[in-house]
Amino acid sequence: MATFGARYRAALDQRGPLCGGIDPHASLLAAWGLPDDASGLERFALTAVEALAPRLAVVKPQSAFFERFGSRGVAVLEQVIATAREAGALVLLDVKRGDIGSTVQAYADAYLDPASPLRADAITASPFLGFGSLQPLLGTAAKFDGGVFVLAQTSNPEGPQVQQARTEAGRTVAGDILDRIAAVNAGESPLGSVGAVVGATVESTGENFAAVNGPLLAPGIGTQGGTAADLRTVFGEALRNVLPSSSREILRAGPSVQALRDAADRTLESVRAILTQS
């Protein structure tokens, strides 16, 4: 199998730059007329997969919204991952795990090892116990051609307290994380397999995102206030590597499969227009 970086590049080139989030919020289940239980979760999630996975480059199930239903919810998540991959989408499992030592290795085994029913193409991870603490994830991802998207500069209002703090060398924590990702990806072609998560609404950061040489996940398009035009402001010359993500903005169009597809198509058209401008 090709590296995740290579699969990511091919998926964006073939299907376009959009990640569809699968976030079964209780409010969305209610809006679709579904019960807030495991049966409603299954209908919601598999409908979203049917609509989005055959046409989008990446789908991103948020693990927490499945885990809240216990073992039945995790079983649905296993279905979502398998079905979406069979439909040709890359699956980015949004788990934001971060720990140390054997615990991080256990997370890596759960989400990146082909022997696991929860194996995804890539996962999100938190580096705020130290970037080095993620090494078991990075090593397991490299072994099995998976990817890891590392939180760097998020758009939540609490984020700057940590991410904009300065290291002893004077670099922001976010900038230091980006530098470390770039070091892991150095020399990889067409892209490295370690990505960065940078909110679509963080405005201009002064960072050279092209130097990351890896995937750039940009959540926040739509309901969270981010627009396609914001992407150019944030990412500059790295636009070709950016994967905007939209969840509720698309999912609110359900429960019709066609309505979901139409909403995804509209979002894709808007971001493609920005990302392909010369």
Which active-site residues does the annotation give? 96
What is the enclosing helix (H) or strand (E) of 194?
Answer: strand 194-198
- CB-based contacts of 195, cutoff 8 Å, min separation 6: 8, 122, 147, 148, 149, 150, 181, 212, 214, 215, 216, 217
Residue with tokens 């948020």: 62
Using CA atoms, how far apart are residues 109 and 126, in angstroms rounded to an integer? Answer: 17
- CB-based contacts of 266, cutoff 8 Å, min separation 6: none
The residue type of 226 is: G
- CB-based contacts of 269, cutoff 8 Å, min separation 6: none
Residue (of 3, 155, 24) closest to 90 by Cα position: 3
The residue type of 119 is: R
Using CA atoms, how far apart are residues 140 and 148, in angstroms rounded to an integer? Answer: 10
Residue (of 133, 110, 135, 191) closest to 123 by Cα position: 110
